[in-house]
Amino acid sequence: MAEASYPEDLLYHPEHDWARVEGEQATLGITWFAQDALGEVVFFEPPAVGTSVAKDAAYTEVESVKAVSDVIAPLSGEIVEVNGALAENPQAINEDPYGDGWLVRVRLSDPSEREALMDAASYVSSLAS
Query: Which residues contact residue 3 at a Cβ distance below 8 angstroms, ignoring those fewer than 6 apart?
Result: none
49/68 with CB nearer another protein: 68
Q: Which is nearer to another protein, 45 or 119 (CB)?
A: 45
Q: Which residues bind another protein (CB under 8 A)?
A: 37, 39-40, 42-43, 63, 65-67, 69, 91
Minimum distance from residue 32 beta carbon to another protein (Å): 14
Minimum distance, C-beta of residue 125 to another protein, in the bound complex (Å)? 16
State the nearest-atom distance from the C-beta of 72 to another protein, in Å. Answer: 12
CB 26 within 8 A of CB 5: no
Q: What is the DSSP letter of 48?
A: P
Q: How far apart are CA 45 and CA 76, in angstroms?
A: 19
Closer residue to another protein, CB minimum distance, 52 or 91: 91
| Under 8 Å between Cβ of 119 and 94 | no
